Amino acid sequence: MPHTRSAKKSMRKNEKRRLHNRTAKKAIKVQTKKVLALVKSGSADDLRQEVVLAIKKLDKAAARRILHPNTAARKKSQLARLLHKKAGGTPAAAGS
């Protein structure tokens, strides 16, 4: 346990931030799973809406440094590839 006042306050702040970060990450995971479920069985329009929501959540998390920006960019790229494949096109970076 912390002894100084500043260490106690720091502990309170860290706990609050940890819980906030966990909820944001959980929301991203839930949204990503919705997208993956729609890829298997769902219309392309519904999939597009869910992908847009997922990308929005990823962008917000990256802007607030909850996720590393490169991680958010990678996940957005993966979702966009899934969307493109479901829409009927061939992804440009399929071989990479």
Question: What CA–CA distance (Å, rounded) separates 75 from 61?
Answer: 12
Structurally, at CATH architecture level, domain 5-87 sits in Up-down Bundle (1.20)
What residue spans define the domains of the chain? 5-87
Q: What is the pLDDT of residue 96?
A: 43
22 three-state secondary structure: helix
Q: What is the pLDDT of residue 87?
A: 81
pLDDT digit string, tens, across residues 86-95 = 887 655 554 5
Average pLDDT over residues 2-15: 97
For CA atoms 54, 21, 26, 66, give the dihedral sign.
positive
Question: What CA–CA distance (Å, rounded) separates 61 from 3?
Answer: 33
Q: Report residue 62 as tokens.
A: 């990256």
For residue 73, which of 92, 91, 55, 89 has the smallest C-alpha distance? 55
pLDDT digit string, tens, across residues 40-88 = 988 889 999 999 999 999 999 999 999 999 999 999 999 999 999 988 7
Q: What is the pLDDT of residue 92?
A: 55
Q: Report residue 54 as tokens.
A: 């997922």
Average pLDDT over residues 13-42: 95
**E-state strands within the chain:** none
Q: What is the pLDDT of residue 86?
A: 85
What is the reported pTM?
0.82
Q: Report residue 37 as tokens.
A: 């479920």
